[in-house]
Structure formats: C-alpha cells, structure tokens
Chain A
Amino acid sequence: MNVNLTINKKQHTLNLKGNETLLEVLRDHLSLTGTKTACQETECGTCTVMIKGKAVLSCITLAANIQGEEITTIEGLAQGDVLHPVQQAFIDYGSVQCGFCIPGMIMSSVALLEKNPKPTQEEIEYALDGNICRCAGYPKIFEAIHEAGKNIVSKGSIASKS
C-alpha cells in the first residue's frame, strides 16, 4: 500500500506492507538513524519524534495509520548549519554525554518549549519523564531547557525574548 508522510517538511510516498512501525520506516527505509530504540517496550523514549508538534513514540506508531501526518525527527530541527536553540543549548550547557538518549530528549524538549517557552521545573520534569538518560543525571538537561526557552518563539504567539 502507498502511504504518504511528510517527514521534516519533505513529502515521502512509501510503499509499505502495512505492519511497519514509524521507527522502522525512519531507520530502515529512510536511513534516518538519529531516532534510536533501546527497549521496544515504550519505556526508554529514545524513539521519540514529533507528530504535529507532540512528542510521541515511533516504536509504537503504525506508519500506515498516520497517513498524511507531519512528522519531525531530530534530523529536521537544524536549519542548514544553524542549530535549533534547544540543540545549541544542549551543547553549551554540557547536557550531552554518551548522546544515545539525546535525540529523543531533544524532541520532547522542543515539543514542550514550542508550546510553552517558559515552563516551570515541574512542567519540564513531567515533559521529560518518558526519556531515560543514564549518563547525565538530568541537572544540565534541565538547565539547557530553561535557557533554550528564552530563545524560542512560542508557535502562534508574539516572540518572547527576555
């Protein structure tokens, strides 16, 4: 069957059997290996992508079921050489260590900040509770998100640079 998906603003028409997860489409069909998988049981969050701006798990998303949806993966955040404010902040604040959790962590962070650029600590913690990081212990990740929010324009609202 033909399935149309817009991934990182690019249209794809995929010839699928129907039982492919979005994760497999991304990694195996399109070689977008930025999105990872580490558990296959919905617990780790390394497969997190955004669909219509919401953080979701690609390992339990049936590609054929999201016909026509707009998907953003980690590869779709930077504009050419210019990193997304969240990506830049993660580098600047030392939030990255082994990096395996980071694509998923960044997707959850971007989904949060684009809706709410000034989240409280509690809102950040709840937004990230689906992303396990085994290396960083979280403090620098929180710091990066607080900072990045200062450089993000909330979708549909006036630019909120402090």
Chain B
Amino acid sequence: MALTKKSKFEDQYIDPVGKSVPRIEGRGIVTGQLKYVFDVQMANMLVGKMLRSPHAHARIISIDTSKAEALPGVKAIVTAKDTHQIKFGSNEYFFPHTVDQMALEADKVRYIGDEVAAVAAIDEETADEALRLIDVKYEILPGVFEIEEAIKPGAPQIHESLNNIALILPVNFGNPERLMKEADHVREDKFWCPVAHPSPMEPHVCVGQWETFTNKITLWSSSQAPFKCREALAKTLKMDLNDVRVIKMAVGGGFGGKLEMLPMDFAACLLSKKAGGLPVKISLTREEEFTTTRRKHGMIYKIKTGVKKDGTILAMTGEVLADGGAYCSYGPTVLAAAMMRIFMVYKLQHFRMTGYRVYTNNPISGAMRGFGGVQSGFAVESHMDMIAKDLGMDAVEFRLKNITGPNMTTVNKMILTTNGLRECIEKAVIASGWKEKRGKQKAIKRGIGIGIAADVMGSKMYKSHESAGAIVKVEEDGSVYLFTGAADTGQGSNTALSQIAAHALGVSFSRIKCKSGDTEITPFDTGSFASRVTFISGNAALLGGRDAKLQVLEIVAKDNDLNIDDLDIKAEKVIYKKDGRVLMSFDKALELCYSFKYGKQIIGRGSYNPKTTPIDFRSGEGNVSGSYGFEAQIAEVEVDTDTGIVKVLQLWDAHDIGKAINPQSVEGQIEGSLAMGIGYTFYEDLRFKNGRVLNANFAGYRVPRSIGLPKMNSILVETDELEGPFGAKGMGEAALLPTAAAIANAVEDAIGVRIKELPITPDKIIKALKEQKA
C-alpha cells in the first residue's frame, strides 16, 4: 500500500512524551478567555452566601429564618432541618468514626466560621442583608485552642471522642527500646511546624443547579477532586451517583484545599432546589478562604534517634501531635504520611512513633500540599543534621550511610523499585559546590544545608480503590478525544496526559483534545492530590491509548491478512514491528476502520489501579504506593547578623521523577513548590487567638512574591520506573518537603544558630545570636 501524504496533524510533537509541549490551555490563559467557575455568568443566576458561626464553640439553640425569608429578593434559605443531616468526611473507608462534619450543623458549632445556614438571593446586597436577618441563638461553650490543652482530661469536648483525640495512629516495628540502649549516641528534639494555608489565587467557588423535574444536580466547582465531591454530595443528599454531575472547569489552583466537598457545594445545590431550579453561585471571599476552607495541620513533632558512632541509625521513636481543628477532613492520611514517609528515605528496622490527631476549636486542618510531609521533612531533616554534627560527620555522608536504595522492601513493607535518592544527593552535591562550601563560609556568614525527602507518587490511602479511568475516542477525521477524570488544577495534567495518550496511540500530540473532570462524561478518577496524577491517571491514559491502538491494528491486520502482534503504530505510521517498515499512515488506517466494510468505532478504554497493599493502621504496615519518588535539596544562604534577615542565595533540587513526560511542566512544579517551601520557611504562618484567625488576608499572611527569590536549579533524574507510564513517576508536592530543613540546616552552617520552630524570622535569629554571645 502506498505511503500517503503527510497528515494535517503532524507537527514537532509527533513523539510527544519527553517533550516540553506548551500547555493546551496556554492561549486561553494568556488572552483571558479561559473560563473558571469564578467567571460563570448564567441567566437568572442567584447569589448564594453562607451563614457562619461567630463562636468557636457553641450549642445551637434555635434558628429563626422568618425575617430573612420575608426580605424581597430572597429566593431560598436552607438550614439543617432542610437536609438529611448526614455526616461526611474524607477518610470514611479506613476510619469511619472520622466522618464527623455536617454541611449545615444542627446541634453544635465547633469553630468560628462553621456553617449554619445558607441563603440565595437576587444580588449580593440582598444576600448579605438576609444573613444579617437570620436569628441564631447560641449557648456559648468554652473552647480549647492549643493542642496540649485539648488533650488534657477535663478540656471541653468538641466531639464524642476521648480527650479530643480524633485518632491515634501507632507505627511500630522491631524493638526500638532495646536498640536505643545499644546506641553510642542518642539525640532527642522537638519541633514546631506552623500552620500554613493553600491560598490558591482562585478562591473556592461553585454553581449549583437542581433540575427539578428529574431531581438531577449539576455542580460546577473549582475542585481538585470532582469525583470525591460527587461522592459526598450523593451521600449527603441521598442520591445515586448518576444523578449528581460535578463539573470542574479551569481551576485557579488548589494545593490541597479543594480536595473535598465543602458545605458551600452542598448548599448551592440545595438552595437551587428550593429556588425552583435557578442556578446558585457561591463564591468565597478571601477572608472566608483563609478561615473556613482547609489549613495545614500545625504539628508538634518529637523525634528521638539512636545511632552508632559510625553514623548507622539503630532506632527511632517519636510522637506527633497534630492540630486538626474542628473536623477531621484528611487528617488521618496527613498524620499517617507525616510518619510513614521516613521509611521511604531511611533504612529503619526499629521504630516506634505515635501520631495523635487532636480536635481543637480552630478552623479545619486538611491536606495542604505535602500531606504531612512538609512537617515531617522539617523535623526529621533538621534532626538528622544535628545528629551528624554531634558525631562530627558530614551531613551528606551521614545521609548516604542510612538512605534506602532501589529494589528493596522497607520494614513496613513499602516496595521501593527504582530509587534515585543516591544519584539525587550526588548530583545536588556536585551542582551546589557542597564540598567547597560546607563549613567553610562562616566568615562571610554564608552556609549550605541539605534536606532529602521521598514522596508517594501513586498512593492509595483513603479509599478501597483509587483507580483512574480514561477513554480515548478516535473520530472519523482522525482527531482524538481523551476523556480523563483527572483534575487539572494548573499543574498541566491535561497536557501531560494527552502526551501520554498520543504516544501510546502512536500519533502526534496535535490530534488530541482533552476533556477532564466531568463526572458525567469522564471516567472516575480520585483527583489531583498526593502527586498521583502522572502515575495513576497517566497509566490509565496510556492503557486507553494503547487499547485504541489495538482496535485500529485489529482492523488493519484483518484487512491485510496480517498478525496483529507483528504490527505497531509509531509517529503517525502503522509499521511492522520487526524492521520498522511503514505499512500505511494512521489516517489511512482510520479510513479503513470507518469504512463501509468495517464500520468500527475506535473507543479505547483504560483503567488503572496502583498495585499496593492495604495499610494496617494499627502498625503502619503496607505498601501504600505503586511508585515512590525521591529528591535531595540543597540550600545556600547568607545571613545578615545585624538585621537577622536570611537571604536564600540558591536552591538546588535534584529529583527522581522516573521520566519527565513534559520537562517544562516538571520544572514548573518544582519551582512553584520551592517558592512555597520558602514561604513556609520564612513567612507563611496563619496565626490564631481563641479560634479567630488574626491574619486572614494577604497583607497579614505573606506569600512569596517576585522580589528576593533565590535562583532555583532543577536537576531531573530519570530512573525509568517500570510501572510508570513511559517510565514516569510524577511531580507535584515533593519539592516542598525538605526546603525548610535545607534552609534551617544552611543557617546553622552559616552562623551556628539552630531554629526548631518555624517560621525562621529575623527576631528569632537575633535572639539566638544574642544567646550565643552570652
């Protein structure tokens, strides 16, 4: 069969995997045309608002909405009595008792901002006025706001749990007490990891519409996890999954704050029902963003390690106390991750750590980027550095002595296949000039420090299955749809998954249009969190593309009387596998499929569930992830000992990402994570007093801006993960995990000051320097 002319789809991205294909949404973004839920304007759309508790802890005695209902322009008001009063949570499968929140509280409010009612009105003024007219009578209860106060017997009880402890997670292996006695040196430290906030630029926003004649809901939501949202809506509204449609549009960032259904999502739907089916839009103010969504768990992290004098770690024990706020959210998984990550990084046989997730009357803590790994990264990596110093050992040598390696199983049964940790450390050391700088720049008050970390890239920690699905649908003219449930929140998953699907199908990138995150159209996907999308959703896209390819090849083989196993599709051509000879173009093959004779629609399907083992939450044992990523991060700082200001000169992040599907996107994620890590180290600190957030705005809660960021060097290490799509593991949060420790370690190298309570602020440096002099 003759070769046909070049396809209109052929372009420079004919073998897209590994290429920095520009974002699909790029043009839409830079012209302002890309629409977010924030921009949605619909006919007869109502404005919805939430009525929130002004008290940190109170019993609801009565709610009188009559005056508000009488206000002209008010179309609907809902309170708990309009609901089934079903609780929802994020860890129902493993910890049913942590399902503790109601969309609209009926009996009790547990933090300032807790939702009590919702209104829908013709405009914002009327909605605000309606909120003012709702009369809620509270019986104020004493509140408790500090972790250590909350667990004391006699403290005000927030839920029905003993001593306000929502969950105790023990992680136990071997006999650490015995090994500690055999240690040549034992060190114990306590760290404070403060509360940060995801603060995506687009606030939480949703539009709910109830189709009254079918009782079907559509919710447009700025969400990282539309299917999770659907699940919770269906549960709390007692509906079938196929009567609830959640649509994710472009999302202006999530960072772990948009991983769940929030009361506003629920309320928007219910208000629409009550308003006869009119769409209701609820958009949070920035203050509500800071106070009523999800914050990072503040953690007291205690850790004790026994080592031999040659640096070998013998045993580790510790305790983690996490300030969970009023409800559980992702708390259990965050707490587990905060402890279990250590096994991915260091070879440990003897380990005992207990984590406590504590209720307080503070805003709700959830799964902010890092999932507990930022806190454990700071604590563990600072602690390790201090041990190395105690032993007179180089910080890098100490790490290398104890790190995990490839093809090993940890004591808690995590199966590490590819593991580029050593290579990452070595590359970072060379790139940063570690040997020439460490301990040698004190005269100019410069220092260099290292932090290492690992991350789960394909985890299953909150549900029985966390599979991803994909459909690759090839149209008659050769254009292709990729339907994926994965939620692109700006990290570029639409583009990367399209690259994977195109590569798996054997065609050029420009054929693919990606449709994602619509629960009615796209297959199930757990969502964008835990850095899982490239590995899990990517594998689904790969399988979908490959399935579509096989369907095409089946027709080609049949028509040419060939064996399908001898054929492949690569770079737009159907070829013989043996020698790469071209049989026909992809377009020609498609013509065959859609011909009068065969009429075969090409609909490829992929479903991927990572190969993990269930976690035993009594011990912490289980292979939690299908793939693990690793990194080494080095920070170089300069300290102004007059002002106490620490300037980060450079950051080097060497990262084992398996394979970079889109190198530019990977770097973008690393750089964004590094910036967030700098924020956490120096100034992201959400402060509270008696449950009230003191700095609920960007003036008070500082995030990194354009001025003064260090030079960021990303070093991508490709270890080719067999199980990953084309060798990829993923990238999302990991670069954020060791930053604070790398910087704290660098500060110690520069001026001998050790900060154990973040953020590192100038006043702490000055105080420590004064104490040093004394």
Contacts and interface: CB of A to CB of B under 8 A. Distances in A.
B705 to A, nearest CB: 5
Contact of B671 (A33, A91, A132, A138): A138
Contacts of B675: 136-138
A97 B26 CA distance: 8
Interface stretch (A50-58, A69-77, A150-158): A69-77
A126 B255 CA distance: 26
Contacts of B699: 41, 43
A102 B29 contact: yes
B698 A97 contact: no
Interface of A: 27, 31-36, 38-41, 43-44, 46, 73-75, 77-78, 83, 87-88, 90-94, 96-103, 106, 124-126, 128-129, 131-142
B712 A90 contact: no
B31 A74 contact: yes
B72 interface: no
A89 to B, nearest CB: 9
A73 B30 CA distance: 11
A5 B664 CA distance: 40
A39 B705 CA distance: 15
B671 A136 contact: yes
A103 B29 CA distance: 7
A93 B706 CA distance: 17
A121 to B, nearest CB: 10
Interface string B147-173: 000000000000000000000000000
A12 to B, nearest CB: 17
B286 A38 contact: yes
Given A40-B285, A98-B201, A125-B706, 18 more contacts: A33-B35, A36-B38, A40-B286, A44-B698, A88-B30, A96-B23, A98-B252, A99-B28, A100-B200, A100-B252, A100-B490, A101-B201, A129-B706, A132-B705, A135-B490, A136-B675, A137-B668, A137-B674
Interface string B2-38: 0000000000000000001011011111111111101
Contacts of B199: 134
B644 interface: no
Contact of B709 (A75, A77, A138): A138
7 contacts: A27-B39, A34-B31, A36-B252, A91-B22, A98-B489, A100-B252, A126-B706
Nearest to A73: B32
B668 A38 contact: no
B91 interface: no
Contacts of B705: 128-129, 131-132
Q: Is the interface of A mostly helix, strand, loop or mixed?
A: loop
B495 to A, nearest CB: 10
B291 interface: no
B362 interface: no
B203 to A, nearest CB: 7
Nearest to A101: B201
A100 B705 CA distance: 15
Interface in B482-532: 489-492
Contact of B490 (A73, A98, A126): A98
Contacts of B613: none
B250 interface: yes
Nearest to A28: B41
In the complex, the 8 A-B pairs of residues with the closest C-beta atoms, listed nearest first: A34-B32, A98-B490, A100-B252, A137-B675, A99-B29, A43-B698, A74-B32, A137-B671
Contacts of A87: 30-31
B668 A33 contact: no
A50 B664 CA distance: 30
A7 B203 CA distance: 27
Given A98-B251, A98-B253, A83 B285 contact: no
A94 B664 contact: yes
A97 B492 contact: yes
A106 to B, nearest CB: 6
B601 interface: no
Contacts of A137: 668, 671-676, 704, 709, 712
A30 to B, nearest CB: 12
A90 B255 CA distance: 22
B706 A94 contact: no
A91 B41 contact: no
A134 B200 contact: yes
